[in-house]
Amino acid sequence: MTIKGHTLSLKVDDRYHNTSLSHFLKAEVSASKPITHFWMEHQKIRLNQKPAHHAVKVSTGDQIIIDLFETEESDVTPEYGELEILFEDEHLLIVQKPVGRPTHPNKKGQIGTLANLVAFHFQANGEEKRVRHIHRLDQDTTGTVIFAKHRLAHAILDQMLSKKTITRTYIAITEGLFKKKKGTIDAAIGRNKHHAVRRRVSPNGQNAVTHFQVIGLNTHVQMTAVQLQLETGRTHQIRVHLSSLGHPLAGDTLYGGLRDRINRCALHAKQVEMKHPLTGEQLTIDAPLPPDMAELMDNMIQ
């Protein structure tokens, strides 16, 4: 597979001789049947320099060229605002989510979300496309969020997330001093029947695993800075797990944190590590700590 700009080129080898084009594309680039159907309907895919048609079979040595460029009506209202871009190319966009902005709208026409800023960014660059977020962060959480710029990138990134080949590292500042320098929290998370928003550790909940390592302590104010990585992605996972240890996030009043030092949950999605979904390039994308958390971190000692 080779990629140049929006053009994806593939050559069929002996493994796929006399199999369907749909099967080949599913196996090689994670293209579902709806994606392949879209490419054919919009004449985006050529087999040996000719438009591909449904049910066609491929042979060893066949050359397949796909134009990944898409023009779509945005499903999100564009909103002007500052967007901190950490990485961008023809296939994906990684940005820093600021505090106080939800990741995406919950209803048509809603503004004030990160997705609205991304929609405006696309519009300003003459890119007519949908906004496709791969994962999300809570409204008060800052840091890296990944967006796909076309349907194939979306499909591959979703698969990478499912297979846990995207590593997301978080920084949190918690109440109290940790006794252990590092460890793993393996505790299922479920809904709290007494509260519509809160989650709780529950044996009947969904499997949830969080790894943590202490990176700083402040004995004067009794706070700990920890670095975390998730094996699962449950709602409020870090917040619930840390609270279950008796160390809620600073500022997280929903789970027992105090707001005497910071006025929101002290949680930041610091880094994303992954292979580029199309080129295979190894990416390590860092998001700088926002000022409120950076100020707290300045007083931490290892």
Token pair in block for residue 250? 């600073």
How far is Cα 183 from Cα 185, in angstroms, rounded to an integer?
7
DSSP for 23-41 reads: HHHHHHH---HHHHHHHHH
> Tokens 């000692």 map to which residue?
301
Q: Report, as residue numbers or ranges, the catalytic residues.
A: 138
Q: CB count, 10 Å around CB of 54?
A: 12
CA dist list (Å): 148 to 19, 36, 86, 89, 165: 29, 17, 14, 10, 16
14 burial level (CB within 10 Å; 0-12, 13-18, 19+): exposed
> Tokens 């901190």 map to which residue?
84
Residues 6+ apart with CB under 8 A from 111: 77, 79, 105
Contacts 24+ apart (CB under 8 A), 178-183: 178/214, 178/217, 178/224, 178/226, 178/245, 178/247, 180/214, 181/213, 181/214, 182/211, 182/212, 182/213, 182/214, 183/211, 183/212
Token pair in block for residue 298? 């300045």
